[in-house]
Amino acid sequence: MPRTNSISDLTATVTANREVARGFWKMSLAAPGVKFKPGQFFQLRIHGDSTQPLLRRPFAPSEVSENGFSFIYAVVGAGTAAMTRLSKGAETGVLAPLGNGYNLPRKGRVLLVGGGCGTPSLRFTGEVLAARGLEVYSIIGARTACTLLEVEALKKISTLCAVATDDGSAGLHGHAVQAAEVMLEEIGLKPKPVILACGPEPMLKGLAKLAAEKKLSCQVSLEERMACGFGACMGCAVAVKADNEDGFIYKRVCADGPVFEATALAWS
Ligand SMILES: Cc1cc2nc3c(=O)[nH]c(=O)nc-3n(C[C@H](O)[C@H](O)[C@H](O)COP(=O)(O)OP(=O)(O)OC[C@H]3O[C@@H](n4cnc5c(N)ncnc54)[C@H](O)[C@@H]3O)c2cc1C
Ligand code: FES
């Protein structure tokens, strides 16, 4: 996977922060000069001048411009709840860009598969690919219709975009892997699409299996709990296949990932 550009530790100002779907908020930050490759992420110090919460939280951008970036976050705990209370003008700390990012194909077809809060970062990835002239297909998975994210933005850049919901309230009644299977039947395997995915681990594991069956290249972006975010603490270890007695070694999701070839991971 490609390596990072140099990491900056900077103060970023909140320019917008609002709920965009039930339980999901979108924050925009002014952070001139920060550049991301698709699949890279950043660590947010929620209050720029405070140590509480102590650890930064990792997120991936959904939109990137010269002046800053936006991201969508699920409110799941103390850190993300505190983020909802940041108003326009508040200062945060940003450590970016982090991680490797996707190894983007130069031509051909790409199938993006996003689940839950993993979908928004694929918007940025898809927009970069579409601007380079690749044919983009996308699948968006969510629990229910009102938590589907970035549907319009992904439709705009995709030759075909399908949604799947666990409760059947929109699109396919099922999960994103089932929708990917249906789409692959529809679009065929010639030329072979490359799968890029971000979402919950069961989805990524299911996609890895599907990709192996169809002999497709598949890169997955993992979400692990993180501490430092830049490779110093081993707090985000993941098992990767290795030719040793154990059959695996540990790699750091933050520094060696978060994107891995699906075939490289020792899935549990
Ligand atoms: C590379 C990367 C990119 C990410 N991008 C996004 C994004 O764009 N949008 C988004 O909503 N979330 C993203 N996440 C997950 C996000 O970092 C966590 O949801 C967030 O840190 C939770 O903070 P909290 O203080 O609210 O929750 P906590 O109080 O710390 O935890 C609440 C719950 O969330 C779970 N959790 C905490 N951290 C993570 C984590 N890193 N991954 C999975 N589950 C976690 C905990 O196990 C617990 O169940 C990303 C994670 C990584 C590693
Ligand atoms: S979070 Fe410290 S090594 Fe990954």
Q: What is the mean pLDDT of residues 71-80?
A: 95
Quickly state the pLDDT bin for 5 (edges 50, 70, 90): low
Note the pLDDT tens digit of each residue in 148-204.
Answer: 999 999 999 999 999 999 999 999 999 999 999 999 999 999 999 999 999 999 999
259: domain CATH number is 2.10.240.10
Q: Residue 259 pLDDT more than 80?
A: yes
**Residue 107's pLDDT band (cuts 50, 70, 90):** very high
Nearest Cα neighbor of 217 from 161, 263, 265 is 263
Higher pLDDT, 229 or 87: 87
Same domain, yes or no: 107 and 213:
yes
Token pair in block for residue 239: 């098992």
Nearest alpha-carbon partner for 22 in 154, 197, 177, 165: 165
59 lines ligand 1 (CB under 6 A): yes
Give the span between the Cα atoms of 64 and 98, in whole angstroms.
Answer: 15
- Residue 3, domain member (yes or no): no
Q: What is the pTM of this model?
A: 0.95
Quick one: residue 23, left, alpha or beta (phi over 0 = left, psi -120 to 50 = alpha)?
A: left
* Residue 51 pLDDT greater than 80, yes or no: no
Residue 237: CB partners within 8 Å, gap ≥ 6? 224, 250, 251, 252, 253
Q: Is residue 1 part of a domain?
A: no
Which residue minimizes the CA distance to atom 11 of ligand 1? 73
Q: Give the closest residue to 178 by CA, choosing from 166, 191, 190, 170.
A: 166
Residues 93 and 109 in one domain: no
Is pLDDT above 50 for 75?
A: yes
What tens digit of pLDDT does each residue of 123-153 get? 999 999 999 999 999 999 999 999 999 999 9
Location of structure tokens 């890029």: 196
Which ligand sits nearest to residue 56's alpha carbon? Answer: 1
Looking at the structure of the chain, the number of domains it has is: 3
Please report whether residue 2 resides in a domain.
no
Q: Are residues 196 and 229 in the same domain?
A: no
Based on the fold, state whether residues 88 and 54 are members of the same structural domain. Answer: yes
- Å from CA of 29 to ligand 1 middle: 19
Domain range for 239 is 222-268
Question: Distance from the CA of 208 to the center of ligand 2, in angstroms?
Answer: 24
Buried b (16+ CB within 10 A) or exposed e, 13-24: bbbebeeebeeb
Ligand nearest to the CA of 233: 2
| Mean pLDDT over each residue of the chain, to the nearest integer | 93
110 residue type, one letter: V
For the Cβ of 252 lying below 6 angstroms from any atom of ligand 2, the answer is yes
